[in-house]
Amino acid sequence: MRRCVIVGGADIGKYERIMEMFCENDYFIYCDCGLRHMERFGRKPDLIVGDFDSCKDPHMDAETITLPCEKDDTDTYYAVKEAIKRGFEDFLLVGAVGNRFDHTMGNVSILLYLDSLGKKGIIADDYSQMKIVSDEPEYIDCGFSYFSLLNISGTAKGIDITDAKYPLRKGEITPDYQYGISNEVLPGKTAKVFVEEGRLLLVKVY
């Protein structure tokens, strides 16, 4: 099954880093002004979604869904829901972390939404990769400088971290005490994170 890449309109500086994650057969959805990244990516849209409040409808030779400006879903959230309807299980979101903190947090919540449906999701920006750790262990290789575990959805219990500078056994992280920031993978190792109960946001920093 092809992966769905959803391109938002936030600034991207390190295009090469983002493009290293692309696969040849990825399905690309550009959201509104995310189209400004199309030339640098060199990937044409399979679908365009947006209310075109931040850019004009380009009227390209590609399927386009025009949304109303007044709506509950952001353009990015709508694009994810549309892709789910089309059968996609694996998602990469880029151009989703920017100067608007509210939009950034809204996009991060998409990872929770995808996880709740049993689907895979990653947000990648110039400096990091983000994903949800829930019912399966996650691994961090030593190519990343740091990794952090943040609680954005309630109490997380039974947290195990191995092969890291700050290991943890049966720990608990709550939203009001985020002590899982800036851990490091031990040299030559691959760190492992497991959450017995709840969910955590894993941020892997280059």
Residue 96 sits at the vertex; the CA angle it makes with 152 and 119, to the nearest 5 degrees, is 60
Query: pLDDT tens digits for 26-60?
Result: 999 999 889 999 999 999 999 999 888 766 667 77
Query: Are residues 58 and 116 part of one domain?
Result: yes
Last residue of a domain, one of 68, 99, 126: 126
47-50/63-66 β-pairing? parallel
Domain shared by 118 and 137, yes or no: no
Q: 92 and 171: one domain?
A: no
Query: What is the pLDDT of the chain when averaged over all its residues?
Result: 94
63 with 95, same domain: the answer is yes
The CATH number of the domain holding residue 85 is: 3.40.50.10240
* Helix, strand, or coil (residue 119): coil
**Number of independent structural domains in the chain:** 2
- Angle separating helix axes 101-116 and 75-85, nearest 10 degrees: 20
pLDDT at residue 61 greater than cutoff 90: no
Cβ 107 vs Cβ 8: under 8 Å: yes
Same domain assignment for residues 117 and 62? yes
Q: How confident is the model at residue 197 (pLDDT cuts 50, 70, 90)?
A: very high
Residue 154 belongs to domain spanning: 133-205
pLDDT category of residue 155 using cuts at 50, 70 and 90: confident
Q: Could you give the CA distance from residue 119 to residue 81 in angstroms, rounded to a whole number?
A: 12
We report the CATH number of the domain holding residue 156 as 2.60.120.320
Q: What pLDDT, in 10s, does the model give residues 129-148?
A: 999 999 899 999 999 999 99
Residue 60 in contact with residue 38, Cβ under 8 Å? no
Ramachandran area for residue 178 (φ above 0: left; ψ -120 to 50: alpha; else beta):
beta
Range 19-31 average pLDDT:
97
